Structure 1
Amino acid sequence: MSLLNGLPAHVLLVHVVVVLVPLTALVLVICALWPQGARRLGPALPVLALVTLASVPLTTGAGEWLERHVADDPLVRRHAELGDGMLPWALGLFVLAAGVWLISRRTPAAQAGARSGAVLRVAAAVLSVVVAAGAVVEVYRIGDSGAKAAWHDAYSKTATRPGDGD
C-alpha cells in the first residue's frame, strides 16, 4: 500500500497501531486478571487482538514504501528498525488474548476443581501483563522515533510569524 487519498498510507495507518496496541494490551490485562470480564467480552478480546495483529504488517509495509520515497536519514532508518520489532509483540498479544479467552470459557466448576487450571490462569495473567507492558513500551519507542524522524528539521523552535501567545 502506498498512498491513501494522496497521503502516504503509513502516516494514516500508524494511528491504527498507536490506538489498537495499547487498547488491546489494556483489555488483555483486564481480562487476564478478571476472568468474569473475559467471559463477558466473549470472543471480542481475540478478535480485537487479531485486528491489532493484522494492522502491524499493513503499517510496516506502508512504512517500507514511504522509506523508499524519503531522503536517506539515520533517524528514518532507526524508526524502520524499531518498527520491524512490533510484529512479535502484536503476535504475543494475540496468542495471549486467544489463550485468556479459551481459559475463560471453561466452566467455573471445572476451574475451581482443577489446580492446574489455577496455575494456568496465573501464568496467563503474568504473561499478559509482561507482554502488554512490552507492547506498549515498544509502540511508544517506535512512535517517538518516527516523530523525531518526521519533525527533526521541519520546524523552528522560535516562532517565524507573530501569533497569539508567542
Structure 2
Amino acid sequence: MGLDLINGIPAHVLFVHVVVVLVPLTALALICCAVFPAALRRVGIALPVLALVSLVSVPLTTSAGELLERRVDSDPPVRAHTELGDGLLPWALGLFLVSAAVWWFLHRRTAHRTAAAAGATGAVALPLRVTAVVLSLVVGIGAGVQVVRIGDSGAKAAWHDGFSASAHADRG
C-alpha cells in the first residue's frame, strides 16, 4: 500500500482528517495545560505524545497531497492549497517542542518536588509558567489558524469548479 491510494480513494483525502482533528486538539490541550496546572497533572505524558502523533501526521498528509497533486489539474486554488499546506510543518514542530517543554519543566520537574522545595523556587516558577503560557498561546493559535487557512483553501481547490450556487433544474 502506497501513500497515493487507500481502497481506491486518494490517501490525502483520508489523512487530512487526522491533521484537522489532532493539530487543533493538540493546540487546545497545550494551552489548557500551560494555563491550568491541574489539567497538566491529569494529562501528563499524553500531551507530548499527542503532539508527536500530530507532528508525524503532517508530513504524511503533505506527502500524500503531493502525490494527489500530480493527478489533478494544476490551477491557482490547488497551488495555493499546496503552498499553505507546506507551511504547517513548522507549526506542528513548534507544538511538539512546546508541549514537550511544558510537560518536562512544568509537570515532570515539579511533580518530584516537595512542597517546601517548591516554595523555595517559587520565584523561578512564575517566569517559567508565564513563558510557557505565552509560547503555548502563540504556537497553539498559530497552528490552529494555519489549519483553518489550509482547510479553507483545500475546500476551494476541491469544489471551485464542481459546485453550483443554485440547484440544477432536473434535481429539484
TM-score between the two structures when normalised by the length of structure 2: 0.91
* One of 77, 80, 88 as aligned partner of 1:78: 80
Identity %: 63
Q: Deviations over 1:121-147 (max 9, x none)?
A: 110111101110010000000000000
Structure 1: which 5+ runs fail to align?
none
* One of 134, 137, 144 as aligned partner of 1:136: 144
Q: Tell me, what secondary structure is at the counterpart of 1:117?
A: helix
CA distance in structure 1 between the partners assigned to 2:161 and 2:74 by the alignment: 14
What's 2:103 paired with? 101
What's 2:65 paired with? 63
Q: Deviations over 1:44-68 (max 9, x none)?
A: 1111000000000000000000011
Worse-matched range after superposition: 137-146 or 36-45: 36-45
What's 1:125 paired with? 133
Q: Deviations over 1:56-99 (max 9, x none)?
A: 00000000000111111111011000000000000111111111
1:39/1:101 contact within 8 Å kept: no
2:150 is the counterpart of 1:148? no
What's 1:162 paired with? 171
What's 2:54 paired with? 52
1:36/1:104 contact within 8 Å kept: no
Structure 2: which 5+ runs fail to align?
none
1:4 maps to amino acid: I
Work out the number of aligned pairs and report it.
163
Q: Which runs of 4+ in 1 moved over 6 A?
A: none
1:108 shift after superposition: 6.0
Q: Tell me, what secondary structure is at the counterpart of 2:90?
A: helix
TM-score between the two structures when normalised by the length of structure 1: 0.94
Pair 122,20 (structure 1): closer, same or farther in 2 beyond 3 Å:
same
1:130 maps to amino acid: V
What is the CA RMSD across the aligned residues, in angstroms?
1.2
